[in-house]
């Protein structure tokens, strides 16, 4: 397919996309081209949450796009083709029928990188200008994407307020850990060397929060999303020390924000493009976005 329409007109678009690894399941790209965007400007990919509302998550970034002349691309995985957690959060790694590990070429964690690569090849975006952000289920998607396929074409990866994490260990099978996927310690070293930027809302800390995963493995990681983010970071740092390798992850706490995809998007945009996390009143805190 061609992405030329993204340079021909500014504003919103919704484009169909087919992933060869899942040819019968349609993906949509909800996009926004700011009036000032041109190839070489910064680009942000955005991964939606469990509501599969890529259009909303694209819209959360429009203010930043207009301010900084960005292109926004939100790959959207409809629940009809990618049902439940296995179909999205966990990347289609485990079979929807029997839970067995599926062929690597069918895992959807590679989709954002493939799209970005195709856009680079077509001249829509330039290499080294692409970041990706994901909130809630999108945060689960992103850290598992980096764990299994690396950074790919993205200069920054920002998972935010994930409900739980695939810990950076080979001793627990996926999705609690990264065991059973054919990964080795070199894959862990590569994961720790990436500049993954974890965002955590300080208000997203309640054990009874809506849509918070309650499987035993998730509960072991902490009572709320904030605590689970810190647990993931700490366990990763400890494993990197054990392996004697660099650990380049970052953690940013966002004061007064709970499970709010719009506010967390604004926080990431502020940090990435202005070097600061805006105050809560600037972020428009108070919403709930899964």
In tens, the pLDDT along 7-65 reads 999 999 999 999 999 999 999 999 999 999 999 999 999 999 999 999 999 999 999 99
Quote the CA–CA distance of 99 and 263 in Å, as a whole number: 35
Give the pLDDT band (50/70/90) at residue 280. Answer: confident
Q: What is the pLDDT of residue 92?
A: 98
> Is residue 252, in this structure, part of any structural domain at all?
yes
pLDDT of residue 185: 97
CATH number at residue 247: 3.40.50.1820
Q: Determine the average pLDDT of the residues in 171-200.
A: 97
Flag whether 290 is in a domain.
no
DSSP category for residue 199:
E
Per-residue pLDDT at 1: 79
Q: How confident is the model at residue 281 (pLDDT cuts 50, 70, 90)?
A: confident
Greatest CA separation found in the chain?
51
> Is the model's pTM score more than 0.95?
yes
Residue range of the domain that includes 238: 5-283
Q: Above 80 in pLDDT, residue 221?
A: yes
Residue range 65-95, pLDDT digits in tens: 999 999 999 999 999 999 999 999 999 999 9
Enumerate the β-bridge partners of residue 13: 31
Residue 211 near residue 266 (C-beta atoms within 8 A): no
Residue 278 lies in a domain: yes
Angstrom distance (rounded) from CA 157 to CA 166: 16
How many separate domains does the chain show? 1
Give the tens place of pLDDT for each residue, 100-153.
999 999 999 999 999 999 999 999 999 999 999 999 999 999 999 999 999 999
């Amino acid at each position: 397919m061609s992405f030329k329409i993204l340079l021909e007109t500014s504003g919103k678009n919704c484009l169909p996309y087919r992933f060869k690894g899942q040819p019968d399941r349609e993906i949509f790209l909800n996009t926004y081209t700011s009036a000032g965007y041109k190839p070489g400007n910064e680009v942000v990919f955005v991964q939606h949450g469990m509501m599969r509302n890529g259009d909303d998550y694209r819209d959360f970034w429009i203010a930043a796009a207009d301010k900084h002349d960005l292109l926004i691309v939100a790959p959207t995985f409809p629940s009809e083709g990618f049902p439940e957690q296995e179909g999205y959060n966990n990347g289609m790694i485990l079979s929807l029928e029997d839970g067995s590990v599926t062929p690597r070429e069918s895992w959807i964690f590679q989709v954002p990188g493939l799209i970005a690569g195709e856009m680079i090849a077509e001249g829509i975006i330039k290499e080294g200008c692409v970041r990706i952000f994901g909130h809630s289920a999108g945060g689960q998607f992103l850290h598992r994407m980096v764990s299994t396929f690396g950074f790919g074409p993205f200069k920054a990866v920002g998972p935010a307020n994930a409900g739980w994490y695939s810990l950076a260990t080979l001793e627990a099978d996926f999705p609690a850990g990264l065991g059973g996927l054919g990964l080795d310690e070199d894959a862990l070293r590569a994961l720790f060397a990436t500049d993954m930027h974890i965002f955590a809302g300080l208000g997203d800390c309640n054990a009874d929060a809506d849509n918070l995963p309650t499987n035993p493995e998730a509960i072991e990681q902490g009572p709320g999303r904030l605590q689970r983010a810190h647990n993931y970071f700490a366990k990763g740092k400890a494993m990197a020390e054990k392996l004697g390798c660099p650990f380049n992850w970052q953690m940013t706490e966002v004061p007064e924000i709970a499970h709010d995809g719009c506010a967390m998007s604004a926080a990431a945009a502020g940090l990435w493009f202005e070097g600061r996390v805006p105050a809560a009143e600037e972020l428009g805190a108070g919403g709930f976005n899964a």
